[in-house]
Amino acid sequence: MILEVQNLSFSYPQRTVLRDINLAIPEGRLVSLLGPNGTGKSTLFRCILNLLIGFQGKVLINEEDTSKISLAELAKLIAYIPQVHYPAFNYSVLDMVLMGTSAHLSAFSVPGIKELKRAQASLELLGIEELAQRNYMQISGGEQQLVLIARAISQDSKLLIMDEPTASLDFGNQVRVMQCIKNLVKQGYTILQATHNPNQAFAYSDQILAMQGGKIIADGTPEDVVNVELINELYGIKARVESLEEGRIRFCMPVEI
């Protein structure tokens, strides 16, 4: 398993957020974490990334306990893609992607030819090399999200954590970003993404984790996990699950519109 979480619990002073989380993710999968707002998805990601201290349990990446390695070494194993990112300066797209290579540089070092080539290769992998000299803040939201993914790829980590990568995008850009993510999985990357969209999870995921009240309440394939009962439990609505193309395409929708 490229990522394992064992008996993980975490509490803030006044509230328990995560309760005995267990999950295992094999290499080369797109895994979607479904759950309502406030259920602990972002906190779980922060624990996996070793950005929170004081949690109970273990996080293993390639069977290595992340609590026993430095953040610098962890950055070589796992990369994080936020929903949005607003840099302090007007960086070019290429400069943004170059930042990902810093995981492999020593203190006070600057990127060289090797890092530049890695950043350019990351842009080419996603088919956005023509954006290299554009101002990051002046490109579209969908393009910005692809740039953040390229930055993570230039970090040279095979495990990517994405926090709702399509949350603020229009439908067309959602499809483009998800197709890009699926192509990365085909090339050997492992991706754990948080999403609020059950239909997106249906369409693209190899594995779905459903989270409610700080617990994983379901874990399996989309066909096995996403059903009427789960949608009702997660989101508190009456929904139905329908099929098209002889069951090859499944989607859920509210009973009342």
Per cent of the chain over pLDDT 70 is 96
Structure tokens at 196: 């609020």
Strands (E), the chain: 3-12, 15-25, 30-34, 56-61, 64-65, 78-81, 159-163, 190-195, 207-212, 215-220, 239-244, 249-254
CA-to-CA separations, 152 to 55, 131, 147, 148, in angstroms, rounded: 26, 16, 9, 6
Q: At what angle do helices 171-186 and 141-154 cross, to 10 degrees?
A: 20
Structure tokens at 152: 């993570």
Is the pLDDT score of 237 beyond 70?
Answer: yes
Reported as a single tens digit per residue, the pLDDT across 83-113 is 777 776 789 999 999 999 887 776 667 778 8
Please state the domain extents for the chain. Answer: 1-77+157-227, 88-156
CATH architecture group of domain 1-77+157-227: 3-Layer(aba) Sandwich (3.40)
Give pLDDT, residue 123. Answer: 94
Cα distance between residue 213 and residue 35, in whole Å: 9
Q: How far is CA 104 from the centre of its chain?
A: 21
Reported as a single tens digit per residue, the pLDDT across 26-36 is 999 999 999 99
Contacts of 216-219 spanning 24+ positions with Cβ under 8 A? 216/21, 216/22, 216/23, 219/23
Reported as a single tens digit per residue, the pLDDT across 8-19 is 999 998 899 999
Reported as a single tens digit per residue, the pLDDT across 180-224 is 999 999 999 999 999 988 889 988 999 999 999 999 999 999 888
DSSP class of residue 129 equals: G
Confidence of residue 241 (pLDDT cuts 50, 70, 90): confident
For 241-247, what is the mean pLDDT?
74
Does pTM surpass 0.95? Answer: no
Per cent of the chain over pLDDT 90 is 56
Cα distance between residue 8 and residue 21, in whole Å: 5
Give pLDDT, residue 257. Answer: 63
For 152-178, what is the mean pLDDT?
90
Phi-psi region of 25 (alpha: psi -120 to 50; beta: other; left: phi over 0): beta
Mean pLDDT of the chain: 90
CB 57, CB 31: distance < 8 Å? no
